């Protein structure tokens, strides 16, 4: 009699012996084991792919911080990955740099404590904090963000002939998310049109375009460029608040 308990998908096979007692042979349910093995292997492959992808992104980021604009081949060498493998993850530098941008130090949206040190109704202070968070850091990694600009322009040209609704987004919404969140205290203070104009105008004071303009066109050093960003943003907030206050004081126009 087979006394071993059934566990782990194992099943007994009783084999008759010609010279002795019945022999009990145990085996594992092959189907159950193969499924477990397949799940494990899939998980392992997924983890390996994630590690390889991250290694390529980290290598590109490190090279960019050295002031370089590396090719896929150079990134693969730095990551100690074969070139064919690198191209399986990123078919061209454009895809790689857009991925690198997602792993930058600037979060895609304000963290919970981004404005914790400010009064809830301090819109100007919140805008200052947003400009510093998403704009100032770019001056520390100019090569990275200039590579991102090249990648976004290439993406735009690559899909210029496609219908608008079939195009992939050229830029992320990081900048607009930060600005919109910073301006929340003004939602009940400014007319809708004024708030919208302020939001769009602030987008001109920060980001890669502003960084390149201040550095290349204005020929400013990073410290002065940072302060100019901040000054421009503050001026726009003040102008919007003045416009909103003046609009509230003016009586409505009489109907003709």
- Tens of pLDDT along 78-133? 889 898 998 888 887 777 877 777 766 666 678 878 888 888 889 999 999 999 98
Assigned CATH topology for domain 47-103: Arc Repressor Mutant, subunit A (1.10.10)
Task: Report domain extents, the chain.
Answer: 47-103, 106-249
pTM beyond cutoff 0.85: no
Reading the block at residue 14, the tokens are 């009783």
Query: What percent of the chain shows pLDDT beyond 70?
Result: 75
Encode pLDDT of 45-73 as tens digits: 778 888 888 888 888 888 877 777 778 88
């Amino acid at each position: 009699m087979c006394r071993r308990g059934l566990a782990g998908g194992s099943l007994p096979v009783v084999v008759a012996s010609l010279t002795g007692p019945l022999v009990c042979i145990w085996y594992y349910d092959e189907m159950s084991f193969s499924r477990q093995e397949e799940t494990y292997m899939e998980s392992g492959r997924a983890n390996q792919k994630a590690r390889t992808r991250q290694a390529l992104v980290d290598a590109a980021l490190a090279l960019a911080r050295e002031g370089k604009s590396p090719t896929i081949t150079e990134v693969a060498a730095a990551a100690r990955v074969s070139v064919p493998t690198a191209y399986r993850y990123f078919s061209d530098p454009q895809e790689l740099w857009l991925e690198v941008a997602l792993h930058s130090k600037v979060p895609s949206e304000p963290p919970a404590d981004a404005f914790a040190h400010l009064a809830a109704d301090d819109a100007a202070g919140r805008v200052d904090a947003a400009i510093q968070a998403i704009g100032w850091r770019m001056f520390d990694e100019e090569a990275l963000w200039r590579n991102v600009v090249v990648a976004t322009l290439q993406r735009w040209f690559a899909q210029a002939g496609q219908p608008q609704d079939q195009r992939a987004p050229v830029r992320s919404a990081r900048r607009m998310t930060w600005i919109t969140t910073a301006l929340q205290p003004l939602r009940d203070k400014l007319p809708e049109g004024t708030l919208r104009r302020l939001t769009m105008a602030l987008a001109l004071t920060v980001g890669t375009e502003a960084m390149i303009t201040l550095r290349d066109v204005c020929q400013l050093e990073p410290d002065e460029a940072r302060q100019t960003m901040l000054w421009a943003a503050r001026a726009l907030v003040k102008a919007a608040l003045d416009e909103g206050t003046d609009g509230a004081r003016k009586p409505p126009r009489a109907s003709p």
